[in-house]
Amino acid sequence: MTLLPLRVSTRRAVRPPGTKAAVKRSIDVVLAGSALVVLAPVLLAIVVIVRCTSRGPALFRQERLGLDAQPFTVLKFRTMRVDCDDGVHRDYVTRLLTAQSPPVGGESGLYKLDCDPRITPVGHWLRRTSLDELPQLVNVVRGEMSLVGPRPPLAWEATLYSKDERRRFEVLPGITGLWQVSGRSRLSMREALALDVEYVRRQSLWLDLLILARTVPAVLRREAT
Report pLDDT digits (tens) over 160-176. Answer: 999 999 999 999 999 99
In a domain, 177, yes or no: yes
Q: Return the percentage of the chain with pLDDT > 90, whole number.
A: 57
Report pLDDT digits (tens) over 29-79. Answer: 999 999 999 999 999 999 999 999 999 999 999 999 999 999 999 999 999
In a domain, 66, yes or no: yes
Segments forming the whole domain that contains residue 158: 18-220
Contact at 8 Å (CB) between 145 and 164?
A: no
What's the total number of domains in the chain? 1
Asked whether the CA dihedral 61, 209, 35, 120 is positive or negative, the reply is negative
In a domain, 170, yes or no: yes
pLDDT band for 187, please (50, 70, 90 cuts): confident
Alpha helices in 84-204 (DSSP H): 87-98, 121-129, 136-142, 155-158, 189-202
pLDDT of residue 97: 74
How far CA 64 is from CA of 51, 100, 150, in Å, comes to: 24, 27, 12
In a domain, 2, yes or no: no
Contact at 8 Å (CB) between 205 and 20?
A: yes
Does 96 or 74 have the greater pLDDT score?
A: 74
Rounded distance between C-alpha atoms, residue 5 and residue 163, angstroms: 23
In a domain, 1, yes or no: no
In a domain, 225, yes or no: no
In a domain, 13, yes or no: no
pLDDT of residue 1: 38
pLDDT band for 114, please (50, 70, 90 cuts): low
Answering whether pTM is above 0.75, one says yes
In a domain, 92, yes or no: yes
**Is 19 a residue whose pLDDT tops 90?**
no
Mean pLDDT of 141-153: 96
pLDDT band for 154, please (50, 70, 90 cuts): very high
